[in-house]
Amino acid sequence: MSKFELTKTKEWQKLAEFRNENQNLHIKDLFKDENRFKEFSIYDEELGLLFDFSKNIVTKETFKLLIDAAKAADIAGYAKKMFSGEKINRTENRAVLHTALRNQSGSPVYVDGKDVMPEINAVLDKMEKFSADLRSGKLTGATGKKFTDIINIGIGGSDLGPKMVCEALKYYGDASLNVHFVSNIDGADIYENLKKLNPETSFFIVASKTFTTLETISNALTARNWLVSKLGEKAVANHFAALSTNVEKVKEFGIDENNMFAFWDFVGGRYSLWSAIGLSIACFIGFDKFKELLSGAHYIDKHFLSAQYEKNIPIIMAVLGFWYNNFYGAQSYAVLPYSQYLHRFPAYLQQGDMESNGKTINFEGDRVDYQTGAIIWGEPGTNGQHSFYQLVHQGTKLIPSDFIGFVNPPQRVGDHHEKLMANFFAQTQVLAFGLTKEQAIENLLKTGASKEEIAMLAPHKVFEGGRPTNSILINYLTPKTLGALIALYEHKIFAQGALWRVNSFDQWGVELGKVLANTILPELSGKADNPHDASTKNLIKHFLKNKK
């Protein structure tokens, strides 16, 4: 069998040729076509979701070439393998079935010949009862008081996912419940959370599949010691739950087995909020709304599996990112939600995208000779406008961006929302079309500027434009539309992984640092030698010398 080389495929060659022949193509030139918006946008009636990708440096011909590349990568076939439980995570010999967690079709999903849906549904049933009991006050602390605070202790996807969703759906949350998240091994994280809590009304959720994750268990033990110092050893059973598969370790910790929730090795951490990892979400917004979150994701799962490539939103998002990354040299990608509720969404996607596709080795085990995962970053509008938009507008780097907004906010406060969305529309327009020198001069003349001032200022007022954006405009922010939005990005990441032929579901790059940290830890208390390179050795020496 001949070795596959992506950069030598006819699809890659045609895209490269088109790029070379159209170096000066500008977005404003493409809008001479009056039907462009209609042809380069998709509206989903059920979700009330509009995806506008017309402000991209993409002609009809380019779009066809990009879709051809997606078809050549057989994204649809690869997706069917994932949904059917095939072990597409080759390096760990695992199925990838976060989609099964939100499977509401009633159909079985098999892994190694076993239908996993009964177990998944059993955990969901257990989550429903537990969250209802905690919210109602049927489940109480050691002194009989109703819980007022939930503290989720996890890291990575066990923290970023539930934290992002609880923030995004805060409007729907139980006003009598506060949800806190502890992840960092830095003692400041657990310390600052514990100092504002009442032990009698605090409930801790420890999210660790193995129940051995260094950061999570260190923070959990600190929380346990704090609780025991206030309420005694027996209180642990009343005040802790475990999201884990390690029964022995959970029992050893003192957690009631009835408060233990399972999940599976076919669920990666960054895709786990749909599982028991979402227990804090279910407690905060209620299980009915948690089910709505799952239903939105399931709706997009069906769209991803069934929609034609040309109308498949995650695939279109994927090929556009591929286009800028591999043919324009764009190394980063901004996600810009115009909703304060989604202020943690870019951070959530950082892990989802960069941990998934930040790879240099392809399916065949060879080093790639092209760029893979982009650097994902962003902040909510309009905060970002007063921070980094200057670089996006007039800097030397091309930064494709996704703008996410809502037609109707969960609540109205004066005319704040209209002011917010005026900025949303203005930013994408200026990024696409820019401002010419002639227009800048005309604007300066209107201010009464002198000829000398105009000559000096005009070059600084020019916006080149041609900066690509997608606009995702959703009628309402609800649990269902949030679930759909998250799933759109999950499948976009998957589709790009298929294009780049990398395994989006392992994370070996995370592991080595953990292993070495465990080696160094005894050295920091003087219990082991310091055999490192000159820099690391002397950094450790300096630390020990100045440690109080």
Quick one: three-class SS letters along 222-261? HHHHHHHHHHCHHHHHHHEEEECCCHHHHHHHCCCHHHEE
pLDDT value, residue 2: 54
Annotation marks residue 491 as catalytic:
no
Could you tell me which residues are beta bridge partners of residue 471? 52, 403
Question: What pLDDT sits at residue 4?
Answer: 78
Mode of pairing for the β-strands spanning 469-476 and 401-408: parallel
Residue 17 makes CB contacts below 8 A (sequence gap 6+) with: none
Q: Which of 386, 397, 419, 542 is catalytic?
A: 386
Distance (Å, whole) CA 239 – CA 234: 10
- For 95-130, what is each residue's pLDDT tens digit? 999 999 999 999 999 999 999 999 999 999 999 999
Q: How far separated are the first and last CA of the chain, in Å rounded?
A: 62
Q: What is the pLDDT of residues 486-530, one digit of tens each?
A: 999 999 999 999 999 999 999 998 888 888 888 899 999 888 887
C-alpha dihedral, 170 to 171 to 172 to 176, nearest 10°: 70
Residues of the chain with pLDDT under 50: 1
249: annotated active-site residue: no
**CA-based radius of gyration for the chain:** 26
Indicate which residue of 80, 514, 541, 542 is catalytic: 514
What pTM was estimated for this model as a whole? Answer: 0.97
The active-site residue out of 200, 355, 379, 523 is 355
Which amino acid belongs to residue 44? D
Catalytic status, residue 163? no
